[in-house]
Each structure stands twice: as C-alpha cells, then as structure tokens.
Structure 1
Amino acid sequence: MIRYLTGADGVRLAVREAGHPSADSTAPPIVLVHGWAASSAAWTHQLTDPGLTAAHRILAPDLRGHGESDAPDGGYDDPAAWAGDLAAVLDHAGAPAVVVGWSYGGLVITDHLRERGAEGIAGIVLVGAITEIGGGHPGGAVGPALGGVLREVLADDPDVAVPALASLAARMTSEPAAGAEVQRRLADTLRVSPRVRRALFRRTLSSADVLAAVDVPTLVVHGDADEVIDSTAGEYAAGKIPDARRRWFAGVGHMPFAERVEEFNGVLRAFAGSVANH
C-alpha cells in the first residue's frame, strides 16, 4: 500500500506501508529510510516479511526527489528540510518508531537529530550508513565502488552516467545479484534526475556533536565487504554514539537487508523488541 504525506515545504512524499497499526500495541513502528538515488522498493524483503509485519507497522518513504515523491527545486542540502520530511513520516507512524537508515538514509536521520533531536524516535539502526558528508569527514567515508565513479554518476551526459550507475548498482552486493534485480536498482537510480543526484552531494557536514548527544538505543550494522560506504564510517558512528551496539555482517556488501534477508530481519526484530522493553 502506498499513501502520500506532506513533508517540509509542502513536498508530497510517497510512503509504502505494511503490517497493521494494532498488530502488537507494545511493538514500535519501524520506519525504513533508503539511500541515495534509490527508493523504498529497496526494502521489499522487510515490507513483506511475515515476522516483521505481524508485529510491527512498517513505513518506508521515498525521499524527496526519489521514487514516487515530489522532486522540488530545493531542500536537498538543507538539514531542516530532511528533518521535516522525516518528521512527517514519524508523525504518521503514530508512536515513537525504530528508524532504520541505509546509506544516505543515515544522514537523513542525523539531520533529524540535528534539527529536532530524537522526537518521535524510539531507536535507531544505521545500515551501511553515512552520518557526515564532505571531504575529510570520517562519518562519510566512501568505498571504491562509489568513490571511483562519483564524478560520472553525477553527470548529465547519459553516455557517461548510465555505465557508471550500472556499475554501482552491480557492486551494491558482495555476491552478484540476479540481472533483473541489478536492473531494478538501476531503474530506481535513473528515476532520480541528475540535478537531484548532484544536489544530495552538495553538502559539507560534520556530526560529531550530534552523534554524541544521541540518547536512544542505537544499532550500527555494516557489511565488512561493503565497497560503497567504507566500514570506517560505521565504526565512526558507533564510536561516537553512546552505548551503540555493533553488528558486522561477514562477507556482505552494501545491502545486508537484501544479501542476508533472514539474518538481517532477525537482527531487526530482536533490536525492535529490545527497544519495546527499554
């Protein structure tokens, strides 16, 4: 099911929903925030997991400029805009939620923490995530799969951008994914206009103080074979956030939720359960 919410500056946000609000009144909702040039479809294995949907209401927004959401002219370099968008989803969740941020989604969560604190957040899961951006900021360290094609994936020229984006889509996982799945990832990326893809990187942001002030349970998840976001970015966040838990997936790339579905979903269920009892 897809519904539409109003985010910051009136932006229309598409949100996939699964589960049922009254599935378990003691279980927190789960909000899944995708990464750069992706969409909420990345979370298919979580949105359709019987164990998760039986216990939790699950919401997965398309970020502004992505998927079925509006692509406004601005807001992509503004922490307040990202915070406002996420706040709209958290308000709709109806109760403090476990917020899961993958890749750039971790930066969106950090923007919310910077602007609004942990309002509406019961717990945080950072998955292959960045929490900073810009040269010299360790919380935004990228791996060779992204760093090696960064200029190309931001280009207007399709002869330059499309091969680089296809390479990046293929290297999202450590083990080769089926060709149809790689093409689905690429299709999601190509729906995001070059101006939006560039705008998301037109930021320089340090988050050390923001991370140090986090006061909700946090789990940092990373694949130790991630070639898109370097695992040092995860280590940085885990080292800054008080009492953060770590869960590294051996031999896994940038998408542990797609590469090790049952294992990841089990970790998420356990974490959400611990938050409910926190």
Structure 2
Amino acid sequence: MTALPRTGHAIAADGTRLAYQWRGTGSPLVLLSGQANDHTWWNRTRDDFAGTLTMDYRGTGDSGSPEVPYSTTVFADDVIAILDDLDIPEADVYGTSMGGRVAQWVAAKYPDRVRRLILGCTSPGGEHGIERTNDVRLALARRTSIEAREALQDMMYTPSWRAANPGPYTVLGAHGMLPHAVRGHLVASNTHDAWDALPTITAPTLVLHGDDDVLAPPTNAPLLAERIPDARVRLFAGARHAYFDECRPESSAAVKEFLEDPSHG
C-alpha cells in the first residue's frame, strides 16, 4: 500500500514558501529532482524506499515563485529549510540531474546534515564538468514544443523501454512554471560549479549514471568519484538520463544496499 504523504510548507530564508511531501516512516531519504521539475519526478520510484522526503523547488509545483536569482546553492539552502521545519537533524540525500548538483552543495555546505549521499546522472559543473553536445542542445531547442518534448523523451528513455512503458512521463518538466522561473532554473543548472567544494564532502557517496546518457555525459561520473573522498561509481548499461526509472529494480536496489552498508558507519 502506498503511504499517504504528509504535505506542508516550510519558509525559506527569503520568505519563499517551499512545498514538501513526506511519505513513510523513520528518517527519510531526501529525493531531489531535475531542472524545472517538481516532486512528481519521483512518482515511479519513491515507493521503493521506506521513507522519502520530496520537495517542489521554488518556481515549481506548490512552492512560491519569487522573481529573484536562482542557483543550486539557493536550492540547497531551501532543502535545509525544509529539514529544519520538520526537525530532521540528519538525512540521506539522493539527487538526480540538477538535483544531483543541488545535493553536492547540501553535502558540502551542511556536512553535519547529510549521512550518506547519492548523486545520479549529474555533473560537477563549471569548466571541469563534461557538458552535452551542441547537437543535443539543438534537438531540445527545436521550433515546436512537441518536437522538443519528443527529443527529451528519447534522451530520457530508450525506445524499447518507452514501447513497454508508454507513460505518462513525469520527468519532462513541471506544469505551470512561470517564464522567469523556467529561466531561473536554467541559469541555476548552467552556472553550477562545485568543483572546489567536492573534496570537502564528508558523507560516503555513491555516484550512479546511465552509460548512454547524452544530457549529462557519463564521463562526469568518474570525475565526481575521483573528486569526492570515499565515493564509488555504478553505471547502468544502455540506460539514458532517467536510469532511475528504466533500471529501477537495479538502481533502487543499489541505493538501498549503499544506505544499509554497515562498512560506512
């Protein structure tokens, strides 16, 4: 049976209302979604874990949408505001895509709040990160939104998986975002650069990636693992950006095994 979520709002330092959804029991696994997406990004996978805490980034879902600069560090501060509101002193954090960028800053800025860290299909950003090619950027910027959406679906999932799982897909962008919020999320992701902070991360870290990911090239995975102390990597053969959906049995099992591994204290 799916646990009914405990929903609410926390207040960020600048007064922005931040929507959250807490399912299950015990200390939650914080799940952070990709750029310009809300908590529904995790609809297929959240029930694989005993307790989860999701959120709607500012500018998405039921959160406020202030016209202020957005950044992955601001999003990380928002995560902590929600943990504070719920009186959660420490949590495991799992971020994918832009959520992985946010998770890097949560672990680097607030080391005492993160027990274990999982980074999925993400990048350190900056000059050291390996970015998508111009062909990929052009495919996402096609003239019609229908063409761009189809291109994004193809980058998220393999054709065979899509044929067996026709959707709807909840990883293609949050509905109802205002134009300034869409731009803010794009800027936040594109300006992310945690390279210098990565060696300061103290939480044991697992890096996950599909090896056929063109949105966040898989060569970013070993970069992150080499830069973060006590990090390990797992790649999923043939998987694209949404490996956590397409390889759900394997990827969720890998996360649970990592979280329960007694060798990490």
TM norm structure 2: 0.85
Q: Percent identity, please.
A: 28
1:221 to 184, 208, 226: 208
Shift of 1:40: 1.2
Mapped to 1, the partners of 2:220 and 2:87 lie a distance apart of: 29
Mapped to 2, the partners of 1:141 and 1:93 lie a distance apart of: 37
CA contact (8 A) 1:132 1:205 kept: yes
Mapped to 2, the partners of 1:192 and 1:245 lie a distance apart of: 36
Shift of 1:34: 0.3
What residue identity is the alignment partner of 2:148?
A
Partner of 1:171: 155
What residue identity is the alignment partner of 2:132?
V
Determine if the alignment matches structure 1 residue 43 to structure 2 residue 42: yes
Mapped to 2, the partners of 1:271 and 1:179 lie a distance apart of: 31
Counterparts in 2 of 1:192 and 1:7: CA distance versus 1, 3 Å? same
Partner of 2:9: 4
| 1:1-278 aligned within 5 A | 1=5, 2-21=7-26, 28-49=27-48, 52-53=49-50, 57-77=51-71, 79=73, 81-91=74-84, 92=86, 94-114=88-108, 116-133=109-126, 137-139=127-129, 141-142=131-132, 146-149=136-139, 152=141, 160-175=144-159, 176-177=161-162, 178-182=165-169, 184-186=170-172, 188-202=173-187, 204-274=191-261, 278=265
Unmatched segments (≥5 aa) in structure 1? 22-27, 154-158
Give the root-mean-square deviation of aligned CA atoms.
2.5
- 1:154-209 deviation line (CA, Å, top 9, x unaligned): xxxxx644532342134211244244324x444x4443333222223335343222
Give SS of 2:119's match. Answer: strand
TM norm structure 1: 0.81
Counterparts in 2 of 1:215 and 1:185: CA distance versus 1, 3 Å? closer
Counterparts in 2 of 1:68 and 1:145: CA distance versus 1, 3 Å? farther
